[in-house]
Chains A and B, each alone.
Chain A
Amino acid sequence: MAKLLMEQLTKTFDNKAMAVENFNLTVEDEEFIVFVGPSGCGKSTTLRMIAGLEDISSGTFSIDGKKMNEVEPKDRDIAMVFQNYALYPHMTVYENMAFSLKLKGMPKAEIKERVRNAAEILGLMDYLNRKPKALSGGQRQRVALGRAIVRDAKLFLMDEPLSNLDSKLRVQMRTEISKLHQRLKTTTIYVTHDQTEAMTMATRIVIMKDGVIQQVGTPKEVYDQPDNVFVAGFIGSPAMNFFNGRIEGNYFVMGQTKLLIPDSALPEGLDNQEVIIGLRPEHITHKPEKDQSTVEVNLDVVELMGSEYMVYATLEGHSFVGRVDANLNLSAGTVFPMAFEMDKARFFDPTTEKRIK
């Protein structure tokens, strides 16, 4: 149970590249925070600074009000799960999980009880005497989790723990980790580059790019109210569609196409301004009756996903994806009216790429 405070956290490597810049974040007790971003965005470096595996170049990091900058990793009372599990190959599953407790000098009986408890939660009871080599990827991942659980640490750190698993197992482990968090309520920081993991597991998401925080918010907030083009494009799958154009009166104009924006959705003071609008695929769809937001487009690719189609098309030089009900009979190469739900559009400044509210 811990409350974390990161103020102006900065990491530079060899006084050159800035890996993390002015990272400010407060993590409340029992939160499940996910750091998400493309590779090289500094999310793992930040996690490693929290763990104490990487020195903090400047700024402060504290747990429960106690400054941790100079505290050794072993004295921070944290547990960490690594991407490639980092299980000790010469120890059995039991020994792997018991290692930290043994180092603490805990009585054998208590170690046994704790390891057995964790093994039971994770369904590892039958594997306690095996070496990691004799386990499958999913089982190894569980042992790595078990090693963290037995510690009863203040803080769990997880560095892309699921990225070595196949997609089916990943979904399964994702729910197991979520369940585990609901059960143990340990403050957790989880790093991933997979926005789906971030959306499904987090209480709050921290989106990073080039070492800088882009937005912090609940999954719903970052999905519905993205602060900038990067966040809007990164969160959501398929990604949000962007169109460059101009506001003229109540219309969004690009080339020959004019789309009517409802009054309520149009931010003030945008008349005659260049803007980028963002529309999620689910907001470009099919509507039976034509109106001022419907455009006839030529369908480039049509993918049947079961309950719906993903349709890929081009409008005024912008490729976009829409979602259409699977009951309609669609095929590539046909011309089809697509409705742009402009009341759901998000507006961005083309120079700063920030959202216009």
Chain B
Amino acid sequence: MRTKDFAYWLFLAPVLIALTLVVVVPMLLGVYYSFTSWNGITTGEYVGFQNYINLLKDERFLDSLWFTTKFSVVSVILINFIGLSLALIVTSRIKSSNLLRTTFFMPNLIGGLILGFIWQFIFIKVFASVGEMVGMESLQVWLSTTETGFWGLVILMSWQMAGYIMVIYIAYLQGLPKELLEASEIDGASSFQRFRYIVFPLVAPAFTVSMFLTLSNTFKLYDQNLSLTGGGPYNSTEMVAMEIFNTAFVQNTFAYAQAKAIIFFVIVAIVALFQVYWNKRREVEM
């Protein structure tokens, strides 16, 4: 029994040590620093909950949190809608489905920063030229207002992630027993009814995975935000991750940023846990 215990811990050790060093210790240190006045150079002194009290009154932080929430809700819905639609298209009997799969997945292979710059060019130059040509002024001001900045980010994120989420939906759609779809066909279901009553309830596990991924990714978005809008105009499109980064590395208030990060972590964790719990309840065992 002793040797078995030893072997057990021996095999677990690499992961445990790595996880402790890069996740647990920094996390605990982070929690500790959030209660100090650490500025990146001197450790500072213990200030109790002062940082947390301050951030509740910090409008810039609260605005970014609200902006991030709006962005996440819209993006999660849109990405999953588009992802599932694409998956339905490429799993139907069309000839070019393999080519389409590759095409739809490709944006996901481009890094977030590059993607931001590409779309910045599209929104500012291409949209403006098209707007000029067709005489639509609304196309000429993209990314210069909060509104267009918001939708610019949503479009960019959906374009990037929909293909990735599509792959997850494809896997689940292909795992649906063919007989069930045939049985529903014979039972008299139209293709919409088949989707509504059979396919949709049965791909519930895919929703759990996809929504978790999209939710956590959109909440933590940083590089696309940086390269597309840079938080502008007037920090109105600044998302939480970027706000925390600026607090730490621009304003050099590391401890304060750390407190924000802790709150952000708690929010994302609660939202994600709630989402997974809620989704799991809808799942059916085959």
Q: Which residues of A contact B (CB under 8 A)?
A: 51-53, 72-74, 78-80, 82-84, 86, 88-90, 99-100, 103-104, 131, 133, 147, 151
Contact = CB atoms under 8 A, between A and B. Distances in A.
A89 B189 contact: no
User: A interface, by DSSP: helix, strand, loop or mixed?
Assistant: mixed
23 contacts: A52-B186, A53-B182, A53-B185, A72-B185, A73-B186, A74-B188, A74-B189, A78-B186, A82-B182, A86-B177, A86-B180, A86-B182, A88-B180, A88-B183, A88-B184, A88-B198, A89-B284, A90-B201, A99-B187, A103-B188, A131-B284, A133-B286, A151-B187
Nearest to B201: A90
A131 B202 CA distance: 14
Nearest to A51: B186
- 8 nearest A-B pairs in the assembled complex, by CB-CB distance: A86-B179, A100-B187, A86-B183, A90-B284, A74-B188, A90-B201, A103-B188, A82-B179
B103 interface: no
A154 to B, nearest CB: 13
Nearest to A78: B186
Contacts of B183: 80, 82, 86, 88, 147
A131 B201 CA distance: 14
Contacts of A84: 177, 179
A80 B183 CA distance: 7
Interface of B: 177, 179-180, 182-190, 193, 197-198, 201-202, 284-286
Contacts of B182: 51, 53, 73, 80, 82, 86
B142 to A, nearest CB: 44
Nearest to B182: A53
A147 B187 contact: yes
B202 to A, nearest CB: 6
Contacts of A104: 188
Nearest to A102: B197
Contacts of A133: 285-286
B202 A90 contact: yes
A84 B180 CA distance: 10
B186 A80 contact: yes
B172 to A, nearest CB: 14
A89 B184 CA distance: 12
B250 to A, nearest CB: 51
A74 B201 CA distance: 21
Contacts of A72: 185
B188 A89 contact: no
A90 B189 CA distance: 16
A317 B185 CA distance: 54
Given A52-B186, A73-B182, A99-B187, 14 more contacts: A53-B182, A74-B187, A74-B188, A82-B183, A86-B177, A86-B182, A88-B183, A88-B184, A90-B201, A90-B202, A90-B284, A99-B184, A133-B285, A133-B286
A2 to B, nearest CB: 15
Contact of A89 (B186, B187, B190, B286): B286
Contacts of B197: 88, 99
A113 B60 CA distance: 63
Nearest to A83: B179
A74 B186 CA distance: 5
A151 B202 CA distance: 24
Nearest to A131: B284
A198 B17 CA distance: 66
A102 to B, nearest CB: 9
Contacts of B285: 89, 133
Nearest to B285: A133
Contacts of A100: 187-188
A151 B188 CA distance: 10
Contacts of B286: 89, 133
**Residue in B179, B182, B187 whose Cβ sees the most chain A Cβ within 10 Å:** B187
Contacts of B188: 74, 100, 103-104
Contacts of B202: 89-90
Contacts of A147: 183, 187
Contacts of A79: 186
A72 B186 CA distance: 9
A88 B202 CA distance: 9
A103 B201 contact: no
A105 B177 CA distance: 26
Contacts of B201: 90
Contacts of B284: 89-90, 131
Contacts of B198: 88
A88 B189 CA distance: 13
Contacts of A73: 182, 185-186
A103 B193 CA distance: 8
Contacts of A78: 186
A88 B179 CA distance: 10
Contacts of A83: 179
A286 B186 CA distance: 54
A80 to B, nearest CB: 5
A82 B187 CA distance: 12
Contacts of B187: 74, 99-100, 103, 147, 151
B285 to A, nearest CB: 6
Contacts of B190: 74
A144 to B, nearest CB: 9
A317 to B, nearest CB: 47
A164 to B, nearest CB: 12
A244 to B, nearest CB: 44
A86 B177 CA distance: 8
A74 B198 CA distance: 15
A80 B106 CA distance: 42
A160 to B, nearest CB: 12
